[in-house]
Structure 1
Amino acid sequence: MTPDQIEQHTALLNTLNRLDGRVAVVTGANSGLGLETACGLASLGATVVLASRSEERNAAALVTLQERVPDAVAETAQLDLASLASIERFTDTLHDRFSAVDILVNNAGVMAPPVRGETTDGFEMQFGVNHLGHFALTGHLKPLLEASSRDGGVVVAVASLAAWKSRIHFDDLQSRHRYSPFDAYRQSKLANLLFGQELARRSRSLGWKIHARIAHPGWARTQLVTNGPGSGKQNLSSWIVETGASVAFRWFGQSAACGAEPFLYAAASPLAHDGCYYGPDGAGERTGKTDLAVIPSSAHDPRVAQRLWEVSERLTGVTFE
């Protein structure tokens, strides 16, 4: 980070609530935005669970976190969001380890694999991991989130600027008839935004002790394109995507630490509100300080969010009631 970005990051952390004695779970926490979020929450005093697929990379991320936050209390847990069985095993472990979860940051994601892949349960990889996996995870963790002593736990759904150019294709959610890497990615990130809003609405109307907020990182320099399941299928198309994204984000984006600031704000700011969407305040919301983000028109209709919720329950077999 530049000196100005370091000053900005420090100033943000100083406005957030202390989290001593609280438990925070961050998915995709072994690199990029997830690791930065985990470090930020640990620096606020939270006990952080770094949840990701690779046990080896989880262990390396834990070492990095403990080097950056020497007094951190943190641990790792294996979680594969491309498998409903893995999600259930992970949540069973958390139920054994903790009496409550105070913060859940649904950060992990897959971006634009050039060849259509499927999760263990037969879902298109991006829709399955980015949306359905986090939907199921949140549902399984609902009892622990409601057990938080802070009048309920906070769930942060991580969306993206990519949601602006999408709609939910209910007639082909799994992209079986037509697969476009970025169309599928955009749909999954719009689904994240709709899920966060619908979770906030249902929590209010049904009296659930859950606080749901949504955030996006702007243009952050991460390895999202290269790190997802199925990303090893390298070809000319994927090389172009990775190279183009790397160049664009290097020149016009911001660091992963700055990109994680809206996540930390949504999770721990006393000024964050349920159902609100946070992101950078700069041009096009690509970089800058955290502020309210503009919600795309495709996410304004609560009937779409309700339908997506009902479909997600049916597909995953996970209900929140």
Structure 2
Amino acid sequence: MTPSRTPADIPPQAGRTVVVTGANSGLGLATARELARAGARVVLAVRDLSRGGEAAASIDGEVEVRHLDLADLASVRTFAAEWTGDLDVLVNNAGIMMVPPGVTVDGFELQFGTNHLGHFALTALLLPQVTDRVVTVASMMHRTGRIDLDDLNWERRPYSPTGAYAQSKLANLLFTLELQRRLTADGSRVRALAAHPGWAATNLQGRTGNRLADRAALLANRIVAQSDASGALPILAAATSDLPGGSYLGPGGFQEMRGTPTLVGRTPSASDPDLARRLWEASAALTGIDLPAGSNAA
């Protein structure tokens, strides 16, 4: 029940198939690289096929690139419809961070729509084929997040890049909580886990549109952050270690910003089963997608 602490601790993954969203750079690429090295067949689910191909070429092992745009539900449906066979592990990693105001193809606030609703829909559609676990990447910033069920898409509130990101990351944890509740109630052996990378230097930072804030973030990356390879360790542990459903992993060092993977805590809001249930219902209503009858958690 101890999380793997280094890539060398990852158990053999031969014969397993893993989908990693957003795997053409950063945490996703680092995660995909180590899983492939351990023997898994890894599917890089990416928006940009050209960059995905470059990422795949840098990985030793069995890899495949498929198109997926989480900001477009039609793309999510197509990806799921084209999937055949079992899927051992789904890693919901892709995301955007503190970007200027925007909406997805379907009109959702961009961060909530991409980071939460896209992965919610993808998981619901693929879950009947998942055999082991779903891992969703959250963030320390869930601690400042607030779920406004009456304004999930920031149509009434003044838009806040930081607030919208924090809401989406809190939603990731609530999604994991409710998914695991449903899996348990259904008697499924599939597990839902979450992980966060601490403060990892990736290409997510520095995209707020505010030049001063972006410079500060990039400077802090150089001074404080750990590498994307180190940030991927909690994700890898969640994807491969023998841990109970509902586990949440992050770095065990100072303020969870860096260090080896360990089980970490979450805020009361992120542990609220009623809020998790209501967010699930709202997400299903917004996307028009829910768990089908006969799924692993119907």
Q: Same fold (TM over 0.5)?
A: yes
Which of 136, 144, 158 matches 1:165?
Answer: 144
Structure 2 counterpart of 1:175, from 151, 154, 160: 154
Output one character per residue of 1:218-271: Cα deviation in whole Å (capped at 9) or x when no partner: 000000136xxxx6xx85x1x22322221112211100000000000001012x
> Which position in structure 2 is the counterpart of 1:108?
94
Aligned to 2:104: 119
- For residues 168 and 78 of structure 1, the distance between their equivalents in structure 2, rounded to whole angstroms, comes to 30
Q: Distance in 1 between matches of 2:6 and 2:288?
A: 39
> Partner amino acid for 1:257?
A
Contact between 2:205 and 2:218, CA under 8 Å: does it hold in 1?
no
1:141 to 95, 102, 126: 126
Letter in 2 for 1:100: D
Q: Distance in 1 between matches of 2:72 and 2:187?
A: 30
Residue 249 of structure 2 aligns to a residue in which SS? strand
Name the one with the larger helix percent: 1
Which residues of 2 match residues 251-262 of structure 1 at below 5 A? Answer: 251-262=223-234
Separation (CA, whole Å) in 2 of partners of 1:315 and 1:278: 29
Contact 2:49 2:66 survives alignment (8 Å): yes
In the aligned structure 2, how far is the partner of 1:102 from the partner of 1:246? 36
**1:274 aligned partner:** 245
Deviation at 1:11, TM superposition (A): 5.9
Q: In structure 2, do the counterparts of structure 1 residues 11 and 205 end up closer, same or farther at CA, with 3 Å as the change threshold?
A: closer
C-alpha distance after superposition, 1:300-320 (max 9, x if no partner): 211000100111111111111
Q: Which residue of 1 aligns with 2:260?
A: 289
Residues 15, 269 of structure 1: 8 Å contact kept: no
- Secondary structure in structure 2 of the residue aligned to 1:111: coil
Count of paired positions: 288
> For 1:11 and 1:53, how far apart are their aligned partners in 2?
30
Structure-2 residue corresponding to 1:32: 26
Question: What stretches of structure 1 move > 6 A for 4+ residues in a row?
Answer: none
Match of 2:176 among 183, 193, 196: 196
Write the distance in 2 (CA, Å) between the matches of 1:253 and 1:302.
33
TM-score, normalising length: structure 2: 0.93
Q: How does 1:61-76 map to 2 (within 5 A)?
A: 61-65=55-59, 69=60, 72-76=61-65
SS in 2 for 1:257: helix
Does the 8 A contact of 1:196 with 1:213 survive in 2? yes
Maintained 8 Å contact 2:194/2:246:
yes
CA contact (8 A) 1:197 1:214 kept: no
Structure 2 match to 1:246: 218
Between stretches 164-173 and 257-266, larger displacement belongs to: 164-173
- Distance, in Å, in 2 between the alignment partners of 1:186 and 1:164 is 7
Residue 50 of structure 1 aligns to a residue in which SS?
A: strand
Q: Which residue of 2 aligns with 1:5?
A: none
Q: Structure 1: how far apart are the matches of 2:177 and 2:111? A: 20
1:218 aligns with 2:201: no
Amino acid at match of 1:292: L
Question: Given the alignment of the two structures, is residue 187 of structure 1 paired with residue 167 of structure 2, yes or no?
Answer: yes
Question: Does the 8 Å contact 1:113/1:225 carry over to 2?
Answer: no
Give me the whole-angstrom Cα distance separating, in 2, the residues matched to 1:307 and 1:200. Answer: 15
SS at match of 1:122: coil
Aligned-partner Cα distance in 2 for 1:274–1:200: 6
Give unpaired runs (5+ residues) of structure 1.
1-9, 146-151
Following superposition, the deviation at residue 121 of structure 1 comes to: 0.7
Q: Which moved more, 1:199-208 or 1:174-183?
A: 199-208
| 8 Å CA contact 1:16, 1:265 repeated in 2 | yes
Does residue 1:153 correspond to 2:122, yes or no?
A: no
State how far apart, in whole Å, the 2-side matches of 1:85 and 1:298 are: 31
Q: CA deviation at 1:297?
A: 2.1
In structure 2, distance between residues paired with 1:241 and 1:62: 32
Letter in 1 for 2:98: A
Please give the secondary structure, in 2, of the residue aligned with 1:51: strand
1:83 Cα shift? 0.5
- 3-state SS of the aligned residue for 2:53? helix
Checking the alignment, whether the CA contact within 8 Å between 2:177 and 2:271 is kept in structure 1 is no
C-alpha displacement of 1:188: 0.1
Q: Which residue of 1 aligns with 2:275?
A: 304
